[in-house]
Amino acid sequence: MQALQENKMGVKPVPSLILSMSFPIMLSMLVQAFYNIVDSMFVSHYSQTALTAVTLAFPLQNLLISVSVGTSIGVNSLLSRKLGSRDLAAAKKAAGNGLTLSVLSWIFFALIGLFLTKPFISFFSSDPELILMGTQYSTVCLFFSLAIFIDITCERIMQGTGDTFHPMIIQGTGAIVNIILDPILIFGLFGFPRLGVLGAAIATVFAQHVSAALAIYYVKKNKEIKLDRPSFRLEKQTVKDIYAVGLPSIIMQAIGTILNTSLNKILIGFGTAAVAVFGIYFRLQSFIFMPIFGLNSGMIPVIGYNYGARRPKRIISAVKVGIIVSLSIMSVGFAVFTFIPHILLGLFNATDEMMAIGVVAMQRISLCFISAGFCIVLGALFQGTGDGYISMIISVTRQLIFLLPAAYLLGHFVGLDALWYSFIIAETSSLALTIFFFRRVYVKKIKTLSA
């Protein structure tokens, strides 16, 4: 009788559990990847200056998202572990503290939006129009960012309790609202004023508020977690436990901004076509990698719950299912990037120079897809057991110690075509580190659960 009352993460067959929890997240992430491409297309059709302004504002947005996603991953991991160990009071505290931390994070970024966006954009250019557009976009997106903090945290709370369906609805609704509003507010359709970049920013934050309203509604209806006023009061140990997993995730995502900026700086030495090709690759690969990150998000609460419940067999089973799904998706991605890169590039109206660079780039970078998928899945194990710092170590090593130096050296001494091999060098090192840490976590934390 007790087993029937237990959360599905402790009793449902693992293969169907992983797929049922991960698929909605994977689908919503694909929708988000599609939106990112469409959004850039609308802005680029307004003007090249508008696209440049939004591009310059991206590092600030990426930092904001890094903090919100990283904190919510910490909440997700702690919440699922406490549910697994039947400590419902601690689980409720994790959710409430997570929302409080989201509000505090918003205040920090709202101040940045008010006082630092113009100096930040001015650092890149002295063009008055570009500074105005970039400042408008950044200020609106940062000052009104409370919605995205609340939305992301609520979604992770739901995922931590095993609910991945409603987060899919929330993300999908937000993306659709944004896609609809973008052309209306940017180009002034249906009697609305032509607002350009400001319109794109307003569309973004309006869609985020729609998502946040839905997220709050569904969290209130969640049967596993019933929040009350005391749960929002910050508790030192709870905050520490959240950031034990969350801070490494924040650092990992923030490093991505450093990586992309640095790679663009290296590639610009080979001409704008090389930068354009990398930009196209980065957008296209999201359709392959986003589902794997969705799989990762679906696995974390399952691993965390069963770690808290001391069920090592279900943890290993979850990892095995994740590896099979990940390698299947990455194999398809590898085949597509290897055999039809010219078709992919043609979708972006690539010039002959871009086509020559891009075919080589995509074929070589795709060689590391399968190993990357393996590493992402094992990253869910580290985060689910509360060892988020391991993922941070692997990420820093891959991107800053191996990828960037290798890209610079190969590009400088051999040439552009050789530069793309730096991705393979980086993923090989990442794979070796991931296997090393997996064996360590398995022996010290997973194997001892059955003792």
Mean pLDDT of 161-174: 84
Quote the domain boundaries for residue 16: 2-450
What total number of domains does the chain contain? Answer: 1
d(CA 154, CA 147): 10
Q: Return mean pLDDT, the chain.
A: 84
| Choice among 39-43, 117-121, 341-345 with the minimum mean pLDDT | 39-43
Whether the Cβ atoms of residue 446 and residue 312 lie closer than 8 Å to each other? yes
Q: Say whether pLDDT at 360 is over 90.
A: yes
Average pLDDT over residues 143-159: 90
439: Cβ contacts below 8 Å, ≥ 6 apart = none
Q: How sure is the predictor about 353, in pLDDT bands with cuts at 50, 70 and 90?
A: confident
Is 50 exceeded by the pLDDT of residue 3?
no
Pairwise pLDDT comparison (284 vs 238), residue with the higher score = 238
pLDDT tens, 414-445?
Answer: 989 999 999 999 999 899 999 999 898 888 88
- The pTM for the full model equals 0.70
pLDDT at residue 22, as a whole number: 79
* 286-305 residue pLDDT tens: 888 888 888 887 888 788 88
Per-residue pLDDT at 50 exceeds 70: yes
Q: How much is the pLDDT for 81?
A: 80
Could you report the per-residue pLDDT of 194-230, keeping only the tens digit for each? 988 899 999 999 999 999 999 999 988 887 778 788 8
The confidence score (pLDDT) of residue 85 equals 79
